[in-house]
Structure 1
Amino acid sequence: MILGAGIMQGPAIRTARDMELETVVIDGNPRAPCAGLADRFECIDLKDKEAIAEFALSEKKSAGLSGVLTAGTDFSATVAWVAERLGLPGIPYETALNASDKSRMRQCFRSAGVPSPAFITLDAVPGAAYELPFPYPAVVKPVDNMGSRGCRKVSGAGELIPAAEDALAFSRSGSAIVESYMEGPEYSVDALVFGGDVTICGLADRHIFFPPYFIEMGHTMPAVLEPEAAAALLDTFKLGIAALGIRNGAAKGDIKLTPSGPMIGEIAARLSGGYMSGWTYPYSSGVNPVRGAIEIALGRAPSETAPVRRWTSAERAFISIPGTVRSIHGAEEAAAIPGIRDVFLRAEPGSWMVFPENNVEKAGNVIAAAETRTAAAAAADRAARSILLRLAAPDQDTDAFLSEKSENPPAGQFPPDAFTLSPEQRSLLARIPDPDFLPAGKGSPQIFIIPFPGLYRPEITDYTGRSVPESIEAVRKITGLPLPFAGGGSENGSPVLGRRFWAALVRGGYQGAAYTVDSLIRNREA
């Protein structure tokens, strides 16, 4: 039995079928994307552990249910509840709670002396006079959610109350933790655990952006680390697994290499989501850890765990500014790039998008694999930049986002501008004329752009690595307009895009610029 029929559970369902096992898959969404892969699908809310246990018991009596697992969900505690009730292989329910509730997890680490940050637990929003028992910066997060939902960094007391409100709203149990912020690069690691023996199944660099939130814009497998540092990270991870009591199952950890050494962010009693256990580790190593997790769930030792190749696999995300998707361009082009293995679209025409504050609000992901890290990363980066989302105009959310002034953005502004300009470049931007709405003949064949040469240098890129010339080409592609640069009188009374266009590009990247063009056309044809 597999809990979850989303994209992240697809590898488990397919692997079980490849192992000639009958699959019974449960999800609360009757239209879950991988429900059709199951031999049998049952629609039950994954939070309803009693109903799932009752259903599992009937399956065991009628069909001989042999094991239960999940991957990439919040519901390892439900798995443990069912396994314990039915006498199936797995971890104890209390152990699963240790790995599901971040407050309990931190207490286990503290008791066992496992390096992890100082923390406190909140069951309500603190008062204005509340003082943390450790210095800022800190991180506030729900005790029982994944995907960085409700998780943010706070730099001072003035930010604590709104962060706590957000974290508590995302908590199913109504609790949050505040922990000391850990400086340093972050890594993800997967493992299989059988009889207390830990088999590492991948150590990856995580690429985290957009403070105060923690948005993973990708990961690269394997991580680039000195052997001593990697060994220290993995040793600390294993100590954390033991402290939680995980002896038979899987474990997924997020761990930082701080100036004082490795410190554990968290450990879940399951294989990872985020395309790691089901995609990037198999691509890089030739090993499918999901197979081992299924074997452990059946009471068997994991097999075929030794890597058979040493490639690199890179996953990259692409995001959107706020608005409603009008059309999507470039997905087929991205899929055709050498080295690209997968393209996952989370958006479609009509989707309402936001600038992500967590890892479930991204527009999609691409995955590449190659013999070298350079080739894999380059393919993934190129593919992510190839997929373009055109937003519908008019839209109040897009207008509000673009109207946030970019001339002098405050330090740490969120959402950030797509392009970071120097004071000199901002001064040049302010001096560009803005003739967008000068009278022009209806249906004029061309729209021109006033040049802004100070932005054309290749080192000036947006937060996905897209240069200004590449962004202009993206606007031309999705609008279908040539948009030549003005000069020499060639515009001859046609509409000309000036400061407003460039400010939209700086603020919202190619999407903001294309939206400005679409808005101008709509206004002229109204």
Structure 2
Amino acid sequence: MAWASPVPHNQRLVSKGGGDEAVPVDFDIIIDDGEGPSSLSVQMDTDMRVAVHSHSRQRSKFEAEQLVASPGSLPKPMTEHQREHAIRTIMPTATHQMLAKLPPELLQAKSPEAQDLRRQLSRGATVVFISAGLPGKRFTFERAAELGIKSVIIEHPDSWAASLVEQGIIAKFLPVDMTQSSEEVYNTALRLIQQLEDDGLTGTADAIATFVELSVPLVSRLCEALGLPGHRPAAVDAARNKHATRAALKAAGLPTPRNGLIRSEQEALEIAKIVGFPAVLKPVSGAASLGVKKVTSEQETLACYREIVDELKTLVVSSGALIKGDPSSSPSSVDASKVIDLTVLCEQYLDGGEVDVDVIMSDGEWVYAAVADNGPTLEPYFNETWAVCPSLLPKEHQVALKELSVNSVKALGFSSGVFHVECKYTSTGPQLIEVNARMGGGQVRECNLLTWGVDLVEETLFAALGIPAGPAVPKKPLRCAAYCYVNAAKSGTVTDAGALEALRSRDGVVWAKQLARVGTKAVGPQEGLPTWLCDLLVTAPTSKEALDFLQSLEAEEPVKVDSR
């Protein structure tokens, strides 16, 4: 088996170019078994938008803005002069003063000893986390506690994360009314963070971070206002806007699919002629993904454009998810049509297999980039099937995908941090789907840790603190990993999940998590978006063996569905 090393070898990354197609992606996954926060679905950690109904929670102008009109009412990015002024006028914390005294070459070394030094530097630091995400994100705060970091979580008062204080995992939980607008949430969070300076337990915040996609724009602006390390807001905004991402890649000379913005029926026909077929129509907003449509003719383009606009006008935000419905039918939902951008992006359809590239940047250069293959999605909903790491693609394809991923991150204006980059290797070369300016969700952290010994939670915290990255990576993978969410093959009632317990005791099975509760209805692809029944993660000596093992377990149908 050949793999591309996830660490650089003094080569300069130059995009190969080529390719002129795009891809239909990003269906929001709505999981609602009607049983509130006790639902098994809340155990998940996923990049997908998940609706977990909570009777005590009413969300939120903030979520509506960040889902469909990001950055919403958040402050505009600062000018260079304003940024420099903020940095000069704010007193460096003890952690940052200590960092400034150490030789850069010592901090940037790629050795176990240097990694231990970076961990020691993070000990005792105060890190503010904006949003806790689903309970499946608990491991991020547990890792911070293991590093000796004093964590402060800013979240809605009824968040599951409030209990982490009593459990000794975090230092403080600061409740914020997340039903407010983005501007109001920003102002409240900024005030609370500034007040930590007088808190005897935490002291001044050394860093602000998040593992939640919707909070990335907010975190970037809080870091900028307080002179702390973080992403530039302009880079974050560009990454979350599909058209802005394409424009940034084109300006940098990177492969970019033909695309155009549609704001009227007349433009729909004009843009379709330029882009060609097959093509994909999708809302331009980074998270408004319910309207993704594949089209093969001008007639389909016009019809689908009308469908998308009509669909967007009926969206509401419920528990952090975009769903179709009437805002008056649910007291916990917010009418998204008042803030949503109805502009539609038309771009060419991408062929080829999808991959994830997990990238770590430090001081403007990449120090880690690992490629994982994704299995074919279940159309028409583009539901995920499986993934395997390291990639099974030819080594030269992996190198090209890493080059495009790193160059795309740079083109958007990022210089440090952890990124989850989605690409395709098409018949004409690598193409970017999107750049996520945070660690990937789901099994991504565990996969990188098992395969290459790299902890993306740890690296996210280092970047937030301004500590240089230089993970010590083995020359060969420690083991190979494969994982999947098992999709319901048919609609019916979940009758049995007992086989999962037996799977957990088998060699090579890292976990087998139940996601669908016995007695609940499962949806098959014939009726709609398939239900995820369970989450499987396995390891083996090679990627092919790992994938074969995973698919054999999936074929056993560990969660039974009765269609009668």
| Residue 79 (structure 1) shift | 1.6
The aligned counterpart of 1:265 is: 433
The aligned counterpart of 2:447 is: 280
Partners of 2:559 and 2:545 lie apart in 1 by 25
Partners of 1:5 and 1:158 lie apart in 2 by 41
In the alignment, is the contact (CA less than 8 A) between 2:262 and 2:271 conserved in 1?
Answer: no
Partners of 1:95 and 1:209 lie apart in 2 by 29
Q: How does 1:170-189 map to 2 (within 5 A)?
A: 172-189=340-357
CA shift in 2, pair 1:112/1:263, >3 Å:
same
CA shift in 2, pair 1:187/1:65, >3 Å:
same
Counterpart selection for 1:138 from 279, 288, 299: 279
SS at match of 2:244: helix
SS at match of 2:554: helix
Normalization by structure 2: what TM-score? 0.63
In the alignment, is the contact (CA less than 8 A) between 1:148 and 1:358 conserved in 2?
Answer: no
Does 56-65 or 238-247 show the bigger shift?
A: 56-65
Counterpart selection for 1:298 from 445, 458, 465: 465
Partners of 2:563 and 2:219 lie apart in 1 by 46
The aligned counterpart of 2:296 is: 155
Counterpart selection for 2:551 from 381, 393, 403: 381
CA shift in 2, pair 1:20/1:103, >3 Å:
same
| Paired letter, 2:473 | A
The aligned counterpart of 1:371 is: 541
CA shift in 2, pair 1:215/1:372, >3 Å:
same
Gaps of 5+ in 2: 1-127, 197-202, 316-321, 323-335
Partners of 1:148 and 1:29 lie apart in 2 by 28
In the alignment, is the contact (CA less than 8 A) between 2:523 and 2:530 conserved in 1?
Answer: no
| Residue 35 (structure 1) shift | 6.4
| Residue 124 (structure 1) shift | 6.3
SS at match of 1:183: coil
Does 82-91 or 60-69 show the bigger shift?
A: 60-69
Per-residue CA distance 1:314-373 (angstroms, 9 max, x = gap): 011112234454553422122222211122333223544434699995333211122222
The aligned counterpart of 1:103 is: 243
Instruction: Indicate yes or no: 2:413 matched with 1:245.
Output: yes
The aligned counterpart of 1:81 is: 221
CA shift in 2, pair 1:55/1:202, >3 Å:
same
Instruction: Indicate yes or no: 2:13 matched with 1:13.
Output: no
| Residue 280 (structure 1) shift | 0.8
Partners of 2:492 and 2:161 lie apart in 1 by 24
In the alignment, is the contact (CA less than 8 A) between 1:253 and 1:266 conserved in 2?
Answer: yes
Bigger radius of gyration = 1
Q: How does 1:188-267 map to 2 (within 5 A)?
A: 188-267=356-435
SS at match of 2:238: helix
Gaps of 5+ in 1: 391-510, 517-526
Does 73-82 or 359-368 show the bigger shift?
A: 359-368
Instruction: Indicate yes or no: 2:517 matched with 1:348.
Output: yes
Partners of 2:232 and 2:188 lie apart in 1 by 18
In the alignment, is the contact (CA less than 8 A) between 2:391 and 2:543 conserved in 1?
Answer: no
The aligned counterpart of 1:498 is: none
| Residue 127 (structure 1) shift | 8.5
Asked which structure has the greater RCO (Cα within 8 Å, sep 6+), the reply is 2
Per-residue CA distance 1:64-97 (angstroms, 9 max, x = gap): 2221222352332122122112221101111110
| Paired letter, 2:511 | D
SS at match of 2:217: helix
Q: How does 1:7-86 map to 2 (within 5 A)?
A: 9-28=137-156, 30-32=158-160, 36=164, 38-44=170-176, 45=178, 48=182, 50-62=184-196, 63-71=203-211, 73-86=213-226
Instruction: Indicate yes or no: 2:559 matched with 1:515.
Output: no
Partners of 1:241 and 1:81 lie apart in 2 by 19
Paired residue total: 393
| Paired letter, 1:319 | N
CA shift in 2, pair 1:333/1:216, >3 Å:
same
| Paired letter, 1:369 | T
Instruction: Indicate yes or no: 2:308 matched with 1:164.
Output: yes
Normalization by structure 1: what TM-score? 0.67
| Residue 304 (structure 1) shift | 2.9
Does 53-62 or 364-373 show the bigger shift?
A: 53-62
Alpha-carbon RMSD across the aligned residues, in angstroms, is 3.2
SS at match of 2:532: coil
| Residue 215 (structure 1) shift | 1.9
Partners of 1:226 and 1:27 lie apart in 2 by 44
Counterpart selection for 2:504 from 317, 335, 339: 335
Does 26-35 or 368-377 show the bigger shift?
A: 26-35
SS at match of 1:136: coil
| Paired letter, 2:483 | E
Partners of 2:499 and 2:394 lie apart in 1 by 38
Report sequence identity in percent: 21
| Paired letter, 2:430 | P
SS at match of 2:396: helix
| Residue 250 (structure 1) shift | 2.2
The aligned counterpart of 2:26 is: none
| Residue 40 (structure 1) shift | 3.3
CA shift in 2, pair 1:291/1:5, >3 Å:
same
Does 85-94 or 346-355 show the bigger shift?
A: 346-355
In the alignment, is the contact (CA less than 8 A) between 2:141 and 2:170 conserved in 1?
Answer: yes
